[in-house]
């Protein structure tokens, strides 16, 4: 009886805790303050996007945020990861946004949701699914019925996942951002979008209000012009970038329904990196004293902020975006790492800025900040050689193929990422400059009878010319790589189809007809890689395979994190135990890929490594190693014009 009474008491306490945990609340604002359940609330926030972090490490990253004094996590949601194909929804693993929200609440954190549909975030096409390009009449970020219908479907599914995580239902989510820096989009349109036309924002706000019960806000750049284009009557306006300029611009707003407490919606620490940048961090050096003073002043003034990035994480696989100022400029694809010089680095460890900003925040918050949690171990993996297992062109018959008079775009093949191989047998001799569609999209490896003859690369402008000479019966192959869809800039991001768009010509001849277009998304690789292959001079891409064991020194339940480098490779991508880590390129700055211990096999088991090397070298070993401390290095591109 006594045991039954104890168990009943425990059950009662459990129900009591659950009831308190799920008590509905509210979040609003007056002229100067955010109000949480009617009481002033200052947002001390940091950006952390769950889809960029292994789910196994979510709790540790959230605990790191809480131990720094953060009380609110800001999170983008990447639509394209949730709906990679129309109508096929995935809220599992890193897409389990609802689980992330519950975990944040368990760690004493609130959330601000930034669902887009456009988020920028240096993410592939700003978060838009590639298949939007194939919908007739589609114009993204516009008062366009096909786009609004697709957006409505997306928000309905996201809201279903997050409905119980709203503050109004006892969850941690306080408010939802409307669009993202829409004022910049308007400003870049050169009048094509009327800055006074708010119909798109009004329609977007209605979609959010139909699906969420929370307060909305907008976030734009730190000027009057950008606020004018991105704000909406009845929605609280905020700015990012320079705090002083942004807050002054908010003071100058004349629509009282947009005014209230001030928040720097993205307080930048440093910056993102693109392949081949002249300087690491895009030339934005961390000025830690200035960042610390900015945060101190914001908190002292009773305002709010979101550190961007608090923890950047990784643009896994093909998730990186790109910038391009105009069609007559070079493409700037971001690297796989989204470390961003963040306060918490890519492997979840505190950086120089962490303790400094923690001390600044601690001066202002009441109560004791939690101790900094244990950080994941990092280890080294001795260098090991991989063996060439198969040529990419030899396994092409396992892929989807279409034969048409002219090349089929990547999206036309039902594909979003990776590569498309185009193959044509010459009916007559031809020589001269090769022209590939309207422009290279984005990097084209050129082969004649399996021998590499050149590279056309949109990361250089003007794109280097390649002259070729073909004989009747020769096989011309063009392997086209999607390096990342543009995520920012009106003129270049609206149409983002990949592959070959248009015709292929050689010299003064007409369009080459009769093409086989092979879809090669290469998200998962395994079939056909059990054999051996002998690499030839100027060969096509080759799959290499090998294994390594987790270091015996590892003592934790999970294997230790490491950074996997391919020091003898040129360009390609890496899979470990079936997970696509991302791209490597000797060009830099990134020379190694983050490999979480959670994705490794511990206990002396073999970890399977597959590398697709795009430019294999005859007679040269391809080697891989795991390094405990990442180094950033800019190297010469062997294909530079």
508 is a domain residue: yes
Do residue 499 and residue 530 come from a single domain? no
Q: What is the CATH number of the domain that holds 577?
A: 2.60.120.260
Q: CA angle, 270 as apex, 264 and 271 as ends, to 5°?
A: 100
Do residue 136 and residue 253 come from a single domain? yes
Determine the structural domain holding residue 490 and report its residue range: 396-520
Do residue 532 and residue 556 come from a single domain? yes
Lowest average pLDDT, out of 220-224, 258-262, 531-535, goes to: 531-535
1 is a domain residue: no
Provide the pLDDT confidence category of residue 8 given band limits of 50, 70 and 90: very low
Q: What is the CATH number of the domain that holds 50?
A: 3.20.20.80
pLDDT in tens, 283-335: 999 999 999 999 999 999 999 999 999 999 999 999 999 999 988 899 999 99
Provide the pLDDT confidence category of residue 19 given band limits of 50, 70 and 90: very low
Domain boundary among 466, 489, 520: 520
CA-to-CA distance for 398 and 242, rounded, in angstroms?
A: 52
Active site residues: 181, 266
Do residue 323 and residue 422 come from a single domain? no
Do residue 516 and residue 595 come from a single domain? no
pLDDT value at residue 10: 35
Lowest average pLDDT, out of 17-21, 230-234, 509-513, goes to: 17-21
167 is a domain residue: no
Q: Please provide the size of the chain in residues.
A: 641
pLDDT in tens, 435-472: 999 999 999 999 999 999 999 999 999 999 999 999 99
169 is a domain residue: no
180 is a domain residue: no
Do residue 574 and residue 454 come from a single domain? no
68 is a domain residue: yes
Do residue 289 and residue 429 come from a single domain? no
Do residue 507 and residue 562 come from a single domain? no
Listed in order, strand segments (DSSP E) in 475-605 are 475-481, 486-488, 504-506, 515-520, 542-549, 562-565, 571-576, 579-585, 592-595
Residue 129 has pLDDT above 80, yes or no: yes
Q: At what angle do helices 243-251 and 288-300 cross, to 10 degrees?
A: 30
* Structure-block tokens of residue 349: 């460890």
223 is a domain residue: no
pLDDT in tens, 250-278: 999 999 999 999 999 999 999 999 999 99
Do residue 496 and residue 353 come from a single domain? no
Residue 551 has pLDDT above 80, yes or no: no
| Closest residue by Cα to residue 333 from 567, 124, 117, 573 | 124
Domain count, the chain: 3
pLDDT in tens, 72-86: 999 999 999 999 999
Q: What's the mean pLDDT in 232-261?
A: 98
Q: Dihedral sign, CA of 153, 158, 164, 166?
A: negative
CA-to-CA distance for 503 and 612, rounded, in angstroms?
A: 28
Residue 41 has pLDDT above 60, yes or no: yes
Q: What is the dihedral of CA 407, 413, 415, 418, to 10 degrees?
A: -30
Q: What's the mean pLDDT in 481-485?
A: 98
Do residue 607 and residue 555 come from a single domain? yes
CA-to-CA distance for 507 and 432, rounded, in angstroms?
A: 4
- Average pLDDT, rounded, for the chain: 93
Helix, strand, coil tally for the chain in percent (to 5): 25, 30, 45
Using CB atoms within 10 Å of the CB of residue 129, give its burial: 0 to 12 exposed, 13 to 18 middle, 19+ buried. buried
Q: Which residues of 430-447 are buried (b: 16+ CB within 10 A; e: fewer)?
A: beeebbbbebbbbbbbbb
Is residue 245 within a helix (H) or strand (E), and if so which, with residue range? Answer: helix 243-251
């Amino acid at each position: 009886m006594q045991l039954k009474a104890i168990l009943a008491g425990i059950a009662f306490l459990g129900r009591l805790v659950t009831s308190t945990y799920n008590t509905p609340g509210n979040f609003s604002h007056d002229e100067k303050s955010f109000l949480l359940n009617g009481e002033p609330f200052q947002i001390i926030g940091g950006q952390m996007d769950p889809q960029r972090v292994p789910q196994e490490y979510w709790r540790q990253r959230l605990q790191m945020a809480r131990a720094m004094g953060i009380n609110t996590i800001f999170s983008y949601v990447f639509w394209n990861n949730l709906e990679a194909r129309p109508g096929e929804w995935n809220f599992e693993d890193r897409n389990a946004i609802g689980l992330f929200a519950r975990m944040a609440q368990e760690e004493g954190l609130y959330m601000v949701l930034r669902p887009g549909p456009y988020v920028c975030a240096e993410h592939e096409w700003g978060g838009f699914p590639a298949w939007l390009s194939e919908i007739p009449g589609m114009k993204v970020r516009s008062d366009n019925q096909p786009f609004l219908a697709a957006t409505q479907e997306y928000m309905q599914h996201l809201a279903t996942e997050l409905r119980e995580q709203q503050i109004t239902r006892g969850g941690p989510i306080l408010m939802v951002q409307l669009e993202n820096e829409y004022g910049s989009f308007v400003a870049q349109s050169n009048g094509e979008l009327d800055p006074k036309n708010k119909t798109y924002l009004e329609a977007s706000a209605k979609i959010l209000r139909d699906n969420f019960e929370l307060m909305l806000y907008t976030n734009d750049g730190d000027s009057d012009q950008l606020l004018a284009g991105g704000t909406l009557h009845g929605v609280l306006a905020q700015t990012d970038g320079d705090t002083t300029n942004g807050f002054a611009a908010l003071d100058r707003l004349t629509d009282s329904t947009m005014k209230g407490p001030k928040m720097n919606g993205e307080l930048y620490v440093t910056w993102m990196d693109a392949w081949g940048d002249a300087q690491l961090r895009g030339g934005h050096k961390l000025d830690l004293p200035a960042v610390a003073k900015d945060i101190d002043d914001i908190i002292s003034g009773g305002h709010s902020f979101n550190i961007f990035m608090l923890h950047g994480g990784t643009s896994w696989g093909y998730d990186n975006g790109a910038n391009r100022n105009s069609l007559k400029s070079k493409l700037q694809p971001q690297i796989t790492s989204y470390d961003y010089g963040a306060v918490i680095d890519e492997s979840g460890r505190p950086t120089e800025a962490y303790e400094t900003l923690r001390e600044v925040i601690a001066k202002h918050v009441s109560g004791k900040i939690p101790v900094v949690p244990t950080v994941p171990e990092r280890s080294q993996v001795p260098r090991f050689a991989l063996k060439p297992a198969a040529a990419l062109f030899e396994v092409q018959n396992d892929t989807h193929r279409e034969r048409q008079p002219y090349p089929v775009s990547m999206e036309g093949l039902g594909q979003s990422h990776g590569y498309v191989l185009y193959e044509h047998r010459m009916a007559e001799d031809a020589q001269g400059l090769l022209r590939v569609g309207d422009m290279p999209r984005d990097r084209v490896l050129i082969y004649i009878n399996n021998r590499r003859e050149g590279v056309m690369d949109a990361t250089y402008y003007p794109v280097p010319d390649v002259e070729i000479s073909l004989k009747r019966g020769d096989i011309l192959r063009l392997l086209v790589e999607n390096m990342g869809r543009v995520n920012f800039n009106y003129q270049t991001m609206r149409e983002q189809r990949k592959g070959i768009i248009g015709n292929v010509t050689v010299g003064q001849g007409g369009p080459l007809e009769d093409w086989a277009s092979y879809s090669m998304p290469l998200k998962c690789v395994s079939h056909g890689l059990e054999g051996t292959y002998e690499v030839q001079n100027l060969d096509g891409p080759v799959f290499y395979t090998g294994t390594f064991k987790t270091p015996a020194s590892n003592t934790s339940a999970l294997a230790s994190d490491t950074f996997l480098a391919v020091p003898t490779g040129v360009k390609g991508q890496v899979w470990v135990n079936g997970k696509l880590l991302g791209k490597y390129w000797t060009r830099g700055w990134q020379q190694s890929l983050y490999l979480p211990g959670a994705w490794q096999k511990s206990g002396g088991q073999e970890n399977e490594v597959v590398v697709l090397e795009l430019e294999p070298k005859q007679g040269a070993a391809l080697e891989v190693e795991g390094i405990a401390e990442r180094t950033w290095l800019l190297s010469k591109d062997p294909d530079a014009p």
